Chains A and B, each alone.
Chain A
Amino acid sequence: MSGENTVREIGHDEFDPYGTLALILIYFAILSVMWVFMYFVEFLGNDLTVLA
């Protein structure tokens, strides 16, 4: 089914979601950098807490 704003129909075989891949890779990169920051700077870099 196509919507009212559809310019062209794209079938399953002609669609490669490379834009999605790019966004997911950026997300993974952000996750990795933030994890490294949280673990090495915030977790290991701080003093002992009441819990640790």
Chain B
Amino acid sequence: MSEQLESGAPTFLDDYPKEAAVVKAALWSSFIALALGAVFGVIQALHRTNILRLIDSTDYYTVLTAHGVLMVVSFTIFFLVGLFTWATVRSFDRGVESIRYTWTWYGLMVAGTLMAVVAILGGFVPQTDISADVLFTFYAPMQAHPLFYGGLTIFVIGTWLAGADWFWSWRAWKAENPDERIPLQAFMVLTTMLMWYIATIGIAIAVVVFLLPWSLGIFDQINPLLTRTLFWFWGHPVVYFWLMPAYLLWYTVLPTISGGRLFSDPLARGVFVLFLLLSTPVGIHHQYVDPGIAEGFKVIAMTNTMFLLLPSLLTAFTVVASVEHGARQRGGTGLFGWLRALPWRDPAFTGMMLAGLMFAAGGFSGMINAGMNINYLIHNTIWVPGHFHLTVGTAVALTFMAATYWLWPQLTNRRLFSRPIALAQVVIWFVGMGLMSNAMHVMGLFGVPRRTAEPQYEGFEFVTSFGSITELRLQLAIGGTLLFISTVLFVSNIALSAGAPKLSGLGKPLSEPLSGAHDSPEILDNLKLWFGIAFVLVVLAYSLPLASIISRGGVLGPGVDPVPMIIEPLGATLEPLVASLQPLLGRLAAVVGGVGA
């Protein structure tokens, strides 16, 4: 029996119950991945700092792969599809065109995830030949079981179909509203998906044409540099695929929560167009130290990357200005005094603001990563995970969790189990990540490597300017543990909310922008134009480097042995060689013996 409230707006669940079920399912898939990813995360943090070793070091890469794939593929992208479904349905104010189709793409994504996760976890069971210890960066020569590549393929197909679902809604809406501007949230969804369609060309070719046939034994060898380059063709824009849902929340939800209105809809549209144009032709900046790619191509990638700072800085301005608008409407005054007027007791607000603050710090370490010369200072050190735990690990993850506190009651018609726990949770995440990421950045400057189970070398000391490596390790371990606790608090809070009584009127309408869509030129909504330009930019950035890689090494070569290597077949290969050499050795011995006599 639901408790009725007289006031308040209807929720998303009231208006679109079928769609709300899909959104909830997608978000739950995301949270399960987050919980599992957090378990593997804390195991790693304690293992490599030598504080608690629950696993054998030989299993470290299985744990690392599970952590990476569950967090940055499953957690982020399941959340994205749930959020984008909500945003599309909400902003077009119409249900999906076919709920069966919507469940189909969700089902494909779940099936793909299960296949990939089974392949990864198979690494813990030596009795099976299934393993995928290839890390999130799964390019050759690392080789996984075909189940892993098959799972990834099905997962990505699911995301393509999800995008088609949202474009389908747009088409139907446009037929009924030919003169309307695309609503802002839907615009963000559509531009993000156009970027995703371009970006996934790289990974689709890498997996379907090379890695999957290679793992099935159809090809003996593939060109490692080619698959690396195709991976990073996708591997950089995917970071914006994680980030764009967070941006959507910062632009369209955060201003309302802060009590204000979005400063400028046209600026927000411009930012998303810039991300569509610039996200993909930059992937080579992940390959600054790769031999086989000319320096000139790397300089072009660096230049494009620096242009990407522009939409991020525009976002910093627009989002903070919108929050300031809220603060001043709430009575805030002064140059900085308005900050006190903000709703800091609201976990959704505080979580998103802390996420944004961490993103500002991540912007700095990102600038270091992107600089072609200064990148050598930190390349392949633990600085790099320190950086992306600020960006995807906090700007994205903490925004998603904070936004869930705002969105979940509108999907379930139930209040959150505990707002104080939610507030503590976002603060614990911020503190935990502050410690862990700081330690990682500082250790990286001292040359401590990433992706290593036991970074303790015999007869070698990492020299620190102040403090000690032991102190930094402790900081990393405490930070990692706090992050794990924070994740447990988040998932339990959401799970326990299922026991809260049903209410009505929990809907929270979003405020209109101060400067609306009609203040911007209509060309911003010309998606065909932006898609075309984005495509041309990618062709310009990648055709020559890819042609050069293929002309030098061939499409399938020069090959290298797959990793992890299997020792037994090597013995079997050597046996006939030794047998064939035996008569020769016998004759040699006879000759030597004859000479000796």
- Give Cα distance in the complex from A34 to B380, angstroms: 21
Interchain CB contact under 8 A, A3 and B259: yes
Task: State which of A1, A5, A12, A52 has its C-beta within 8 Å of the C-beta of B343.
Answer: A5
**Cβ contacts A1-32/B at 8 Å (1 or 0 each):** 11101111111100101111011100100110
How far, in angstroms, from A31 to B360 measured CA to CA in the complex? 9
B contact residues, range = 35 or more
Assess whether B292 is interfacial by the CB under 8 Å rule. Answer: no
Q: Is the CB of A19 within 8 A of B329?
A: no
**Interfacial chain A residues near B330, Cβ < 8 Å:** 3, 5-7
B320–A23 CB distance below 8 A: yes
B498 within 8 A of A: no
Q: A35-B367, A38-B368 are in contact. Are A22 and B336 (CB under 8 A)?
A: yes
Q: State how many angstroms separate the Cβ of A38 from the closest Cβ of chain B.
A: 6
**Which of these binds chain A: B122-130, B508-516, B566-574?**
B508-516
- Inter-subunit contact A20/B328 (CB<8 Å): no
A21, chain B: closest CB distance, angstroms: 8
Contact with A along B525-564 (1 / 0, CB 8 A): 0000000000000000000000000000000000000000
Question: Are B320 and A7 in contact (CB-based, < 8 A)?
Answer: no
Quick check: A15 and B320 within 8 Å, CB to CB? no
Contact A10 B364 (CB under 8 A): no
Please give, as numbers and ranges, the residues of chain B lying within 8 Å of A42 by CB-CB distance: 377, 445
Contact of A17 among B259, B263, B334, B339 (CB under 8 A): B263
Q: Determine whether the beta carbon of A9 is less than 8 Å from that of B379.
A: no
In the complex, A20 Cα to B324 Cα: how many Å?
A: 7
In the bound complex, residues from chain B placing their C-beta under 8 Å from that of A6 are 259, 329-330
Name the A residues within 8 Å of B379 (CB-CB).
Answer: 51
- Contact A8–B329 (Cβ < 8 Å): yes
Q: Contact: B325 with A1, CB < 8 Å?
A: no
B313-353: CB near A (< 8 Å → 1, else 0) gives 00011001100111111110011101100010000000000
**Number of A residues contacting the other chain (C-beta, 8 Å)?**
32
**Any chain A CB within 8 A of the CB of B588?**
no
Q: Which of A15, A35, A49 contacts B328 (CB 8 A)?
A: A15
Are B373 and A43 in contact (CB-based, < 8 A)?
yes
Which of these, A11, A17, A30, A34, contacts B320 with CB under 8 Å?
A: A17
Contact in complex: A49, B376 (CB < 8 Å):
yes
- Given A31-B367, A51-B379 in contact, is the A24-B320 Cβ separation under 8 Å? yes
Q: Tell me if B410 is interfacial: C-beta within 8 Å of chain A.
A: no
Cross-chain pairs A/B with CB under 8 angstroms, 11 sampled: A1-B256, A8-B329, A12-B515, A19-B334, A19-B335, A19-B339, A24-B316, A24-B320, A31-B363, A43-B377, A51-B380
A20-B317, A49-B376 known; 11 other A-B pairs, CB under 8 Å?
A1-B256, A3-B259, A3-B330, A5-B259, A11-B514, A17-B325, A19-B338, A27-B360, A31-B363, A38-B374, A43-B377
Give me the interface of A with B, judged by CB distance under 8 Å.
1-3, 5-12, 15, 17-20, 22-24, 27, 30-31, 34-35, 38-39, 42-43, 46, 49, 51-52
Q: Which residues of B contact A (CB under 8 A)?
A: 256, 259, 261, 263, 289, 316-317, 320-321, 324-331, 334-336, 338-339, 343, 360, 363-364, 367-368, 373-374, 376-377, 379-380, 445, 447, 509, 511-512, 514-515
Ranked nearest first, the 5 interchain pairs of A and B with the lowest CB-CB distance are A17-B321, A7-B331, A12-B514, A3-B259, A20-B321
